[in-house]
Chain A
Amino acid sequence: QKEVEQNSGPLSVPEGAIASLNCTYSDRGSQSFFWYRQYSGKSPELIMSIYSNGDKEDGRFTAQLNKASQYVSLLIRDSQPSDSATYLCAATGGGADGLTFGKGTHLIIQP
């Protein structure tokens, strides 16, 4: 059974600070990892994807992957109130495979 685990939160971060979201996965065969953001009542939208060990930066967002530890993280710098949402971590294997999602971390950015 493939599993992706996330702390459900809520995680409360002051505006302007760094928000750190974490995720672990059970399937060592997982090769691609994604962070989706979901606002209340809306559909998930892709924020970042990462496939190789190390860091990947895109604007205020940095994704980090450590396959040895089966650990994925998302850092949000200069957090804004508009970043308040649920962040879903997802993983997939290398072949024809759907996404396995964590239950999400609810992030609150306090003005």
Chain B
Amino acid sequence: DAGVIQSPRHEVTEMGQEVTLRCKPISGHDYLFWYRQTMMRGLELLIYFNNNVPIDDSGMPEDRFSAKMPNASFSTLKIQPSEPRDSAVYFCASSLGTGKETQYFGPGTRLLVL
């Protein structure tokens, strides 16, 4: 059974460019989460969706970040324009619910903004 799929695995871009990260959750999971991990701040929740609807985007750092989930099997996280401080590993996770349900993480996208 396929786990959470993320693409690309690595992304190097220049400051000011648009970056789009993609995620396919585990089939049947109705919650999808986007996290960002840095050495300084650890693993932070950016936004999460339930049944394709954004529930909590309070972790999105600023308006340069946007996320969509057009259907149950696909989500994007977009950064426009990108800045060097956006360099981090971005993880997507999915689960059957919140609370006691396990979140399963994808392999992550390692983003470097020059």
Q: Which A residues fall within an 8 A CB radius of B?
A: 31-32, 34, 42-46, 49, 51, 88, 92-104
Q: A45 contacts which chain B residues (CB < 8 A)?
A: 105
- Bound Cα distance from A31 to B100, whole angstroms: 9
Number of A-B pairs whose CB atoms are under 8 Å? 56
* Interface size classification for chain B: 20 to 34
Determine which of A42, A49, A96, A99 lies in contact with B55 in the assembled complex, contact meaning CB atoms within 8 Å: A96
Extra pairs beyond A34-B102, A92-B99 (12, CB < 8 Å):
A31-B99, A32-B99, A45-B105, A46-B104, A92-B98, A95-B98, A98-B98, A99-B33, A101-B35, A101-B44, A101-B45, A103-B43
Closest to B108 in A: A43
- Bound Cα distance from A97 to B101, whole angstroms: 11
Which of B56, B98, B104 gathers most chain A CB within 10 Å?
A: B98
Decide if B42 is an interface residue (CB 8 Å cutoff): yes
- Bound Cα distance from A95 to B48, whole angstroms: 14
- Bound Cα distance from A93 to B41, whole angstroms: 21
Closest to B3 in A: A43
Closest approach, in angstroms, between the C-beta of B109 and any C-beta of chain A? 11
The SS class assigned to the A binding surface is loop
Which 6 residue pairs across A and B have the least CB separation, nearest first? A103-B42, A43-B105, A98-B45, A101-B43, A98-B48, A46-B102
Q: B42 contacts which chain A residues (CB < 8 A)?
A: 88, 101-104
Q: A94 contacts which chain B residues (CB < 8 A)?
A: 99
Say yes or no: B106 contacts A44, CB within 8 Å.
Answer: no
Q: Which residues, 85 to 103 on B, are CB-close (under 8 Å) to A?
A: 91, 98-100, 102-103
Say yes or no: A99 contacts B108, CB within 8 Å.
Answer: no
